[in-house]
């Protein structure tokens, strides 16, 4: 018997022994490599899904709440920290996160935040919730400061206005009653504020500040409500672009900590943020929730 014949007989014997003694194990090993890992799509760690809203299908997170992108995050790095992150909580995920049915997992990734947690990204956009949303389908953060937008299922920002039931031609500023008297609010009734650091009439609120205090940007000539003098209101170039409305010498901002028309939660913040009267002056009085008042306008940045 030559060597080639001998080797062939050894190989055949080995295969026969494997089939006789370990056939079930071999079949089991084959099925394990061809099937997906158990629990990979079980949903325990599903971090993002598609959800229906007035803007169509958008990305939603825990509880079906809308997820947003921040246009200041142009480098794919989160620039929303501190009080900005209180108003716009980042979507933090566990190591075993997955995506919901119908979404392309390839467009999602994570970035590491300064505290070591992992924040979910869609395309180039780190994802956030908005503290003013409380139910599935809410879009209260949509278009805030013209820097916060809901995210479509293809990871693009939906830069269009959220639908408003029965909305007519919107005003850019109007008067509203508040615990501080009549104050200037936007067309949806959200309180507008002035920042004492803008004393020369030029907006200075950028970065984290702009996330917490979005500039009140308008398009075209401002539309004013009854009781407001057009001579008091002008436009200035926003710190991050766009045309920002001014009352008197004060560029106007919203506060992300206000969640409903009439809220004045930003009043006196840092002794530098104050609501605005019809004549363009700042009302440096106490708010209903802060009897001590906001001081004389000196102090820190207040964001």
- Taking the alpha carbons at both ends of the chain, their separation in whole angstroms is 90
In a domain, 292, yes or no: no
The long-range contacts involving 108-117, CB below 8 angstroms and separated by at least 24 positions, are 108/48, 108/155, 111/76, 111/77, 111/78, 113/78, 113/81, 114/81, 117/90, 117/92
What is the pTM (predicted TM-score) of this model?
A: 0.49
What is the mean pLDDT of the segment spanning 190-212? Answer: 93
For residue 6, give both structure tokens: 């001998």
CB of 135 within 8 A of CB of 85? no
Contacts of 256 (CB under 8 A, 6+ apart): 84, 87, 88, 131, 132, 144, 211, 212, 213, 214
* Summary mean pLDDT of the chain: 80
Question: Would residue 37 count as lying in a domain?
Answer: no
Tell me, what's the pLDDT at 96? 93
Please choose, from the candidates 220, 213, 171, the residue with its C-alpha nearest in 3D space to the C-alpha of residue 194: 213
Kindly tell me if the per-residue pLDDT of 294 is higher than 70: no
pLDDT at residue 52 tops 70: yes
pLDDT tops 80 at residue 111: yes
Structural domains of the chain, count: 2
Residue with more model confidence, 140 or 165? 140
Collapse the DSSP code of 182 into the 3-class scheme (helix H, G, I; strand E, B; otherwise coil) and give the result. Answer: strand
Measure the CA–CA gap between 42 and 152, rounded to whole angstroms.
Answer: 24
The predicted model gives 130-137 an average pLDDT of 90
- Decide: helix, strand or coil at residue 189: coil
- Both 179 and 271 in a single domain? yes
Answer yes or no: do 129 and 195 share one domain.
no
The mean pLDDT of 210-230, rounded to a whole number, is 89
pLDDT at 27: 33
State whether residue 292 is helix, strand or coil: coil
Looking at the fold, whether 82 and 181 belong to one and the same domain comes out as: no
* Percent over 70 (pLDDT), the chain: 77
Q: Is the pLDDT of residue 32 over 90?
A: no
* pLDDT tens, position by position, 252-292: 999 999 988 889 999 999 999 999 999 999 998 765 454 44
pLDDT of the residue at 103? 92
pLDDT score at 187: 86
State whether 144 and 180 are in the same domain: no
Q: Is residue 29 part of a domain?
A: no
Residue 62 domain boundaries? 46-150
Identify the H or E element spanning 217. strand 217-218
What's the confidence (pLDDT) of residue 9?
42
Taking the C-alpha atoms of residue 256 and residue 269, their distance in angstroms, rounded to an integer, is: 12
Confidence of residue 188 (pLDDT cuts 50, 70, 90): confident
What's the rounded mean pLDDT across residues 132-138?
88
Cβ atoms of 50 and 59 within 8 Å: the answer is yes
Are 207 and 146 in the same domain? no
Structure tokens at 124: 């180039």
| C-alpha distances out from residue 36 to 15, 49, 109, 265, Å | 28, 20, 20, 50
What contacts 277, CB < 8 A, 6 or more positions away? 181, 182, 183, 184, 283
Q: CA neighbours within 13 Å on the CB side: how many for 38?
A: 2
Q: Is residue 301 part of a domain?
A: no
In this predicted structure, the answer to whether residue 112 has a pLDDT above a threshold of 50 is: yes
Tell me the pLDDT tens digit for each residue of 145-166: 889 999 999 999 999 877 654 4
- Look at residue 16 and tell me if it is in a domain: no
Same domain, 122 and 194: no
Backbone angles phi, psi at 26, to 5 degrees: -65, -40
Q: In terms of domains, do 178 and 212 share one?
A: yes
């Amino acid at each position: 018997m030559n060597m080639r014949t001998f080797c062939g007989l050894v190989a055949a014997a080995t295969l026969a022994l494997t089939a006789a003694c370990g056939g079930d194990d071999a079949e089991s090993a084959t099925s394990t490599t061809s099937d997906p890992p158990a629990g990979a799509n079980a949903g325990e760690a599903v971090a993002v899904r598609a959800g229906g809203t007035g803007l169509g299908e958008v990305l939603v997170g825990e509880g079906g709440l809308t997820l947003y992108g921040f246009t200041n995050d142009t480098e794919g790095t989160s620039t929303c920290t501190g009080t900005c992150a209180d108003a716009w909580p980042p979507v933090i995920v566990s190591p075993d996160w997955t995506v919901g049915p119908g979404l392309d997992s390839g467009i999602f990734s994570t970035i590491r935040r300064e505290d070591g947690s992992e924040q979910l990204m869609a395309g180039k956009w780190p994802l956030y919730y908005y503290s003013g949303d409380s139910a599935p389908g809410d879009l209260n953060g949509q278009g805030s400061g013209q820097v916060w937008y809901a995210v479509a299922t293809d990871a693009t920002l939906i830069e269009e206005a959220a639908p408003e039931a029965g909305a007519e031609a919107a005003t850019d500023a109007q008067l509203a009653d508040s615990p501080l008297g009549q104050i200037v609010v936007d067309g949806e009734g959200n309180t507008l504020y002035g920042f004492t650091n803008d004393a020369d009439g030029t907006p200075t609120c950028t970065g984290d500040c702009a996330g917490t205090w979005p500039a009140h940007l308008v398009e075209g000539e401002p539309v004013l409500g009854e009781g407001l003098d057009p001579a008091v209101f002008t436009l200035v170039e926003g710190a991050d672009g766009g045309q920002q409305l001014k009352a008197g010498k004060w560029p106007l901002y919203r506060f992300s900590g206000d969640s409903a028309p009439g809220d004045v939660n930003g009043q006196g913040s840092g002794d530098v943020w104050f609501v605005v009267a019809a004549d363009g002056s700042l009302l440096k009085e106490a708010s209903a929730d802060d009897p001590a008042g906001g001081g004389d306008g000196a102090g820190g940045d207040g964001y």
